Structure 1
Amino acid sequence: MVWNSEWEYNNQDTLKDWYQKKISGEEPDLAVRKIICKGCGREFYTQIETKKYCLYSRCGNRGYQKELTQRRREARQGRICKCCGKAFTPKRSDAVYCSNACRQKAYRQNVADNASS
């Protein structure tokens, strides 16, 4: 049994021809569209309305991981350094200082405060 997505993946030339007919106005009611795969970045043609990947078994996980990474990166933007007060975007989700220099400066202040107590 061949699923629709597998058939589409194997028959991109046919879908491309149908898409050209749709664009030229020869058959404007065809439900073919051209999109870019969120997994591999390749252009492909599909009739499936909700499709995001050229072949889910190949690009689905990769595309999901890309989206997840992007969402996490956006969530970290605009952090304020606890030492110098500058805004920064950390590479790690648990970072509180903008640089090693600020981290070291805060550590030394903490050690000095604890020693004087």
Structure 2
Amino acid sequence: MREAGELVDINLVFGDHIISCHKVILAGRCDYFHRMFLINMLEKNSTEVVMKEINARTGILLVRYLYTGLIEITTDNAQDLLSACEMLLLGALKQDVEEFLCSHTESNNWYQL
């Protein structure tokens, strides 16, 4: 339905990329959006939310994750995903990204005390 533009009620703007979504899906899967759409914030009645802190590539991955529960974490996207997860209060995904980063960090990269 999202890809077909059916019953979408919010556009997320990541840089110059706009993704049409359903508030109920975003709010049901993400505490950040849940709070945004239920509290008397400006975005509650808006049809567009500009996500300045998240780039388009990461935004696309996150929307797909919120709709499907699936995401591919790579060395190219892990750092951006980690920052976005912190902002969006996506604790489970943040933990997955942290585990990915730990498993892909060589021991000679660790800071010695």
Pairwise same-fold verdict (TM > 0.5): no
Structure with more relative contact order (C-alpha pairs < 8 Å, separation 6 or more): 2
Normalised TM-score (structure 1): 0.27
Normalised TM-score (structure 2): 0.28
